[in-house]
Amino acid sequence: MITPTEVRKRLKEIRAATWDGSTIYDDEKAHGLEDQLYADVLKAVAAGSTYSQQLARLALNSHLIRFKRWAA
């Protein structure tokens, strides 16, 4: 089950997919990583994780990462 430490790690991965300080990368990849993060957090909440509120708060920080989000 996902932990707060894992959420922080995955937020860094999303950020790394979009920007390294000089090169823009793959918004589509970042969006997929964000979607998967949300799904994993929701599964943990549904399973009764003792970290539910913390996981949700942390995961919502992904919206502070700037990249183009779209739906197909």
**14-44 confidence digits (pLDDT tens):** 999 887 666 667 888 899 999 999 999 999 9
Q: What is the pLDDT of residue 20?
A: 65
Kindly list the distances between the CA atom of residue 26 and the CA atoms of 22, 54, 56, 66, 67, in Å, as whole numbers in the listed order.
Answer: 13, 28, 25, 12, 9
> Does 43 map to a domain?
yes
> Does 70 map to a domain?
no
Give residue 15's domain range. 4-64
Q: The whole model's pTM is what?
A: 0.87
Q: Using CA atoms, how far apart are residues 35 and 23, in angstroms rounded to an integer? A: 23
Q: What is the pLDDT of residue 18?
A: 86
Q: What is the pLDDT of residue 21?
A: 61
> Does 72 map to a domain?
no
> Does 71 map to a domain?
no
Q: Using CA atoms, how far apart are residues 41 and 19, in angstroms rounded to an integer? A: 24
Q: What is the pLDDT of residue 6?
A: 98
Number of domains in the chain: 1
Q: What is the pLDDT of residue 31?
A: 92
